[in-house]
Amino acid sequence: MKQAERKRKSIEEIYQAALCEFAKKGYENTNIENICKEHHISKGMMYHYFHSKDELFMLCVKRIFNDLEDYLKMTIPSIRQDDFLQAIRTYLLKREDYFKDHPEQRKVFEKALFNAPTKLKDEIIKARHSLKELNRQFILSSLDRLELKKGIDKEKALKYFDVIDYKFKDMLLLYVDKNEELDLVDAFDSYNELLNMFVFGIANK
């Protein structure tokens, strides 16, 4: 086996082990020793490639951001022809579909976004830049199909949807009065109601 292939396989093995432990125990309760012990990885191999828990966590975070971005790039061409509300709805549901198939990635993704170690926040923001830009470009292209209110330009609309995107699922949980994990597909009617209100408001002036 060539050195490059051996390195790739070693890092993949370490990634899968670290992802499992971070998803199960969180950042604070995970350490390199337990990852090695629980997944039968030699410390020699581990420390040859990674020297700290922070490096392992960022390995997982960057991989998740990249994998999700690749998936969404394949998805976007199939939904560009929908109307604005349908496009946003489909885009968010497609992302949910991805995480349903990758539950460990979802847990680490949410930890990175909502409960990241303070010392890693800047690095996480940098790592997420490309994925966030993809989201923004999709919304920007979709806004061409929406008539904005007077005084609202595309940049303001983008900031608004950044906020919605960041906490939409938490807001949906409150809207349907659920505390446990929510399947967005099963909650489709409530999902549509809330998204409609976000886009079109609730009051006539």
- Radius of gyration of the chain, Cα coordinates, nearest whole angstrom: 20
CATH number of the domain within which 15 lies:
1.10.10
> Could you tell me if 14 and 93 lie in one domain?
no
Instruction: Tell me if 34 is assigned to some domain.
Output: yes
pLDDT score for 80: 65
Report the 10 Å Cβ neighbour count for 121.
11
Tokens 């996480």, located at residue: 124
pTM: 0.84
pLDDT score for 64: 97
pLDDT score for 87: 86
Cα–Cα distance measured from residue 98 to residue 159, given in angstroms and rounded to the nearest whole number:
24
pLDDT score for 183: 64
Q: Domain residues for 108?
A: 55-200
> Could you tell me if 96 and 37 lie in one domain?
no
Instruction: Tell me if 73 is assigned to some domain.
Output: yes
Answer positive or negative: Cα dihedral of 74, 77, 83, 84.
positive
Taking 70 as the pLDDT cut, the residues of the chain under it are: 1, 80-82, 178-188, 205
DSSP 31: -
